[in-house]
Structure 1
Amino acid sequence: MTTDDLRIGQFITQYPYENQFSGVDDYFCSGAERVAKRLSEKLAERGCSVTVCTSSATSEYTVEKQNGVTVERSPSLTNINTTQIAPSQIVNPITEGLDFDIVHAHNSTPPGVIAGWLYAKWNDVPFIITHHGGETYESHGSFFRRAGLFIYTKFLINSLFQAADVAVSPTEGYIQESSALSHAESVTVIPNGVDVDQFDIGVSNEEAKRQLEIDPESFLVLYVGSLHPRKGVDVLLNGFTHFHEMHPDTRLVIGGDGSLKKDLESTVEERNLSDVVQIPGFIPESKKSTYMNAADVFVLPSITAGSEVFPLVLLEAAAARTPVIASRFDTIESVVGPNKMGSLLEPGNVESVANELKRFYDDDEMRQETTENALRTAHNREWNVIAQQYHGLYRSVLE
């Protein structure tokens, strides 16, 4: 068998539709789903036959072709929180006669990874899992969400990783944090990737600010992501407020949606920062590159350990030549630290946020050095490179 003959089954609970990230969509997809999409497409470009087994946004079974990838979507009965519930996703890959040489499941939320495990077990083919997180039980949301996650995280997830021929961690740091990975027979590190060309938009930092109607002479701080408590965006806003008091020529953009959005908007209004802080809501992919290029520094202030395995926004900022400030967790430190692409702050610490922002504001030489390191890191993690690493892993497992 040559490498180009590989028949790969990618299993994930949800998988992006075409133009998924052009605006708000009820069919939820985040980092893990974007990773599965770009990896599948790059593997298809290499000549592999790639089929994705996932859920539908509707109650209908569909098969479609996306950029060389066959996407089989099982009908969904309902959704719990942001997760589509498609029971037939577990059955169809077994009964419909799909023929794979290797199964690659993405662990984010069940049942996609369970469907992959069942196919591999019943058809006696190698089974690989990429761990995107989601092994920690979080007691919020509806009763059905809490019950489902409790069963999965307490009784199922370790057995799934124990059954894998190889488990993949996107960062070295997550191997230290993850309980599930400790049950795997073999663990390897393959990072997430980025499309550098998408963020090389050919405009200067100042011009990008003008396009966003932001003062081109200002120092712009950027956050893009969900606005939920675990992300620590309120800590960022408080830290920026102190920083702005010392440096009035600074601006902050908080992009995204979530449960904290209204509280953040109220805080901005109460502090008379409406001319300084923008909260534009969801930022579509078509505009994200401009925001990343306009930023002088990108901040990821997460406060919950394990919630960030390998945030794609770190690489996206790097591809736009923007240094990063991120929380000091093992997962993040293993990306930012060795590559010297930014600095680390103490999670949940307002003073630490203000201090790190001031460091980048005051030190042009450090900002330039981290900018160069960030871009080099992004080039080393382009999706073509990452797909080649996965391709090599598949071949070594089959051999």
Structure 2
Amino acid sequence: MSSNDLRVGQFITQYPYEDHFSTTSEYFCSGAERVAKRLSEELAERGCDVTVCTSSATSEYTVEQQGDVTIERSPSFGSVNTMQIAPTQIVDPITKGLEFDIVHAHNSTPPGVLAGWLYAKWNDVPFVITHHGGESYESHGSVFRRAGLFAYTKILIDPLFRSADIAVSPTEGYIEESTALSNAEDVTVIPNGVDVAEFDIGLSREDAKRQLGIDPKSFLILYVGSLHPRKGVDVLLNGFFRFHETHLDTRLIIGGDGVLKDDLKSSVEGQNMSNAVRIPGFIPESEKPLYMNAADVFVLPSVTAASEVFPLVLLEAAAAQTPVVASQFDTIESIVGPNEMGSFLEPGSVESVTDELERFYEDEEMRRETTENALHVAQERKWDGIAKQYYKLYRSVLE
């Protein structure tokens, strides 16, 4: 079977629309969805016939074409928290008569991966799961969200992974802490990827700062992501307050949206730090390379291990030759540690944030070495190489 003959069904609860990340959208897509999109596009470029089965932002069934990738969207009837509610997504790929040689489901939120499992069983085709997280039950949100996630994480997820022909973990570290992966018959590691060329913007760090209206001689710290308590952004901010007391030439940018945004802004105003801290809100994907290139260090201060399986921002920072400081979890250690592309924080520790910022500020040699290592990591994880690994995996499962 050649790549031109291989029909791949990618199943995921939500999938980006064209130019989805250039503006804010109520149809939520984050890391797992971006991985599914880039992988689908790269597989299509390799000649595979790729169809994505996902949900719509409307109450109508739609079929769209993004380049060589076909997207079949089941009708939605609103959302619970960030999860789109599209009940017929479970059965639409079967009732619509879609034909696949292999099913690849992305486990992030439940409906998409369940739809992939049902299709694979109904049509007796191989079933591959990439585990992006989401197996830990978090008791917040509406009663419908809590009930659905409880049923999925406590009842459905283990037999789902046991039924897979092979499960994929983006990091070695996640295999060690994931119960779902321990139930899988076979597990392999394929990392997430990054478009290195996208982050090569042809500007020095100083020039990138100038474009953002920041003193080019300042030491810039950057965070980009969700402003949610589990991300520990409040810990980063308080650590920066302490750090800035003795390093007045430092600046902090916190990019993103979420429930903590107003509280973070209030803290900045209360500390009279508006000249040193900028909270611009959502940063479109098109602008992210400029921010990453301007930063002297990128900080990922997450306090909940389950929220970080393979954060794409680590690779994006690496592609911009920006070293990282990240919370010391097994998943993150397996990315950052062996590659020496940064250092680690004690999760939830304000003092640890201050200490690590101090190290990077003072040690120019460490910044230089971690910068070189970061770019090397990104070069090894270009999307075309990641797609090649997945294609080889599909062939091995089929054969």
Please classify the TM superposition score into its range, dividing by the shorter chain length. Answer: over 0.9
Residue 335 of structure 1 aligns to which amino acid in structure 2?
A: I
Letter in 2 for 1:225: G
Q: Given residue 209 of structure 1, which amino acid in structure 2 is its aligned partner?
A: K
Matched, 1:331 2:339: no
Alignment-derived partner of residue 286 in structure 2 = 286
Aligned to 2:95: 95
3-state DSSP class of the match of 2:110?
coil
Q: Which whole-Å CA distance do the structure 2 matches of 1:4 and 1:383 have between them?
A: 19
The one-letter amino acid of 1:116's match is: G
Q: Offset at 1:169?
A: 0.3
Which ranges of 4 or more aligned residues in structure 1 deviate by more than 6 Å?
none
Q: Alpha-carbon deviation of 1:335?
A: 0.1
Q: Tell me how many residue pairs correspond in the alignment.
A: 399
Q: Distance in 2 between matches of 1:16 and 1:146?
A: 25
Asked if 1:257 is matched to 2:262, the reply is no
Contact 1:192 1:381 in 2 (8 A): yes
Secondary structure of the 2:84 match is strand
Secondary structure class of the residue paired with 2:91: helix
- Alpha-carbon separation, structure 2, partners of 1:272 and 1:78: 41
Q: How does 1:1-399 map to 2 (within 5 A)?
A: 1-399=1-399
- Verify the 8 A CA contact 1:58 1:75 in the aligned structure 2: yes
CA–CA distance in 2 between the matches of 1:63 and 1:3? 23
Give the Å deviation of 1:110. Answer: 1.3
Deviation, structure 1 residue 366: 0.6
* AA partner of residue 200 (structure 2): D
* Residue 192 (structure 1) shift: 0.3
Distance 1:387 1:357 in 2: 36
**Structure 2 counterpart of 1:76, one-letter code:** S
Distance across 2 between alignment mates of 1:366 and 1:77: 51
Opposite residue 235 of structure 2, the aligned amino acid is V
Q: Secondary structure at the match of 2:72?
A: strand
1:306 Cα offset (Å): 1.5
Letter in 2 for 1:160: L
Tell me the alpha carbon deviations over residues 176-233 of structure 1, each in whole angstroms, 9 at most, x when there is no partner: 1100001100000000000001110000000100100011100000000000000000
Q: Secondary structure at the match of 1:164?
A: coil
Once residues 163 and 247 of structure 1 are traced to their aligned partners in structure 2, the CA distance between those partners, rounded to angstroms, is 55
User: Match of 1:130, SS?
Assistant: strand
Query: Equivalents in 2 of 1:201, 1:265: separation in Å?
Result: 30
The percent of aligned pairs where both chains have the same amino acid is 77
* Alignment TM-score, normalising by the size of structure 2: 0.99
Residue 292 of structure 2 aligns to a residue whose secondary structure is helix
Is contact 1:3-1:395 (8 Å) kept? no
Which amino acid in the other structure matches residue 90 of structure 1?
I
The CA distance in 1 between the partners of 2:69 and 2:395, in whole Å, is 20
Distance, in Å, in 2 between the alignment partners of 1:232 and 1:215 is 27
Deviation for aligned residue 1:237: 0.5
Q: In structure 1, what residue type is equivalent to 2:264?
A: L
SS of the residue 1:111 aligns to: helix
Query: Residue 18 of structure 1 aligns to which amino acid in structure 2?
Result: E
3-state SS in 1 of match to 2:21: helix
SS in 2 for 1:339: coil
Distance, in Å, in 2 between the alignment partners of 1:374 and 1:392 is: 27
Q: Secondary structure at the match of 2:314?
A: helix
For the residues of structure 1 that align with 2:398 and 2:345, how far apart are their CA atoms?
Answer: 42
| Alignment-mate amino acid for residue 372 of structure 2 | E
Range with bigger deviation, 118-127 or 78-87: 78-87
Shift of 1:4: 3.2
CA distance in 2, matches of 1:91, 1:171: 31
Q: Which amino acid in the other structure matches residue 218 of structure 1? A: S
1:248-290 CA-to-partner distances (Å, cap 9, x unmatched) read 1000000001011111001000111000000000000111110
Aligned equivalents of 1:83, 1:3: Cα separation in 2 = 33
RMSD: 0.6
Cα distance, 1:349 vs. partner? 0.6
Amino acid at match of 1:228: H
Q: Which runs of 5+ in 2 are unaligned?
A: none
| CA deviation vs aligned residue, 1:114-142 (integer Å, no higher than 9, x gap) | 00000000000000000000000001101
Offset of 1:3 from its aligned partner? 3.0
Q: In 2, Cα distance between the equivalents of 1:111 and 1:292?
A: 34
> Whole-Å Cα distance in 2 between the matches of residues 8 and 252 of structure 1?
43
Deviation at 1:91, TM superposition (A): 1.1
For residues 243 and 119 of structure 1, what CA distance do their matches in structure 2 show? 54
Offset, 1:97: 1.1
Give the TM-score normalised by the residue count of structure 1: 0.99
Distance (Å, rounded) in 2 between the aligned partners of 1:355 and 1:218: 18
Answer whether contact 1:177 1:306 (CA < 8 A) is retained.
no
Question: 1:67 & 1:211 partners in 2: Cα distance?
Answer: 32
CA distance in 2 between partners of 1:82 and 1:2 (Å): 38
Write the letter of the residue equivalent to 1:57: A
Cα-to-partner distance string for 1:357-398 (whole Å, 9 max, x where unaligned): 111111111100000000010010000010000000000000
Could you give the per-residue CA deviations for residues 96-127 of structure 1, whole angstroms, max 9, x where no partner exists?
11110000000000100000000000000000
Letter in 2 for 1:145: R
Q: Assess if the C-alpha contact under 8 Å between 1:232 and 1:302 holds in 2.
A: yes
